[in-house]
Amino acid sequence: MNVNIQESTKTIAEDFVTLYKAGKADEAGERYWADDVLSIEPSGSMPPARGKEALHKKGEWWEGAHDVHRMDIDGPYVNGNQFIVRFTVDLTVKETGARMKMDETGLYTLKDGKIAEERFFYSHN
C-alpha cells in the first residue's frame, strides 16, 4: 500500500469529518467533492446523484424532510484511497411524524485528492 495515499486520505478524511461534526456539511462537500462526484444510496431508496449541484440539492432535500434530534459521527476509518464514516441519527420524518433511529455508513472513495464517489449503507428502526 502506498503510504502517501494512505496519509493523504487520512488528512482529507479527518478534515471532512471535522467539518461535518461542526455542522458544516456543505463546506465539507464544496471543499472535497470532485466536480463529477457520484452519490449512491441503497438500491431502491433514490436514484444515484452526480455532480456537486445534485449533491447539494440532495442535502437540501434531506434537511427539509427530517427533523434531526441528534447525530453522532464516528470515524473516519481509512484504508488506501477510501474511508468510512458512521452516522447514527435520531430523527423525525416531517411528512409522517415518525420518529426513528438510523444507523448509516458512508464509504468515500478519493481520486486526485477529491471524493469521486460516496456510497451509503444503512438500517433504521
pLDDT at 103: 94
Task: Label the pairing between strands 66-79 and 82-93.
Answer: antiparallel
- Cβ(54)–Cβ(35) under 8 Å? no
pLDDT at 3: 55
pLDDT at 84: 98
Residue 60 per-residue DSSP state: H
pLDDT tens digits, one per residue of 13-55 = 999 999 999 989 889 999 999 999 999 998 777 889 999 999 9
pLDDT over threshold 90, residue 120: yes
The Cα–Cα gap between 43 and 72 comes to 24
With left for phi above 0 and alpha for psi between -120 and 50, is residue 47 left, alpha or beta? beta
∠ CA 116-121-125, nearest 5°, is 150
pLDDT tens digits, one per residue of 68-113 = 999 999 999 999 999 999 999 999 999 999 999 999 999 999 999 9
**pLDDT level of residue 2 (50, 70, 90 thresholds):** low
Residue 34 per-residue DSSP state: E
pLDDT (mean) for 1-22: 86
State the fold for domain 3-124: Nuclear Transport Factor 2; Chain: A, (3.10.450)
- Domain boundaries of the chain, sorted by first residue: 3-124
pLDDT over threshold 90, residue 116: yes
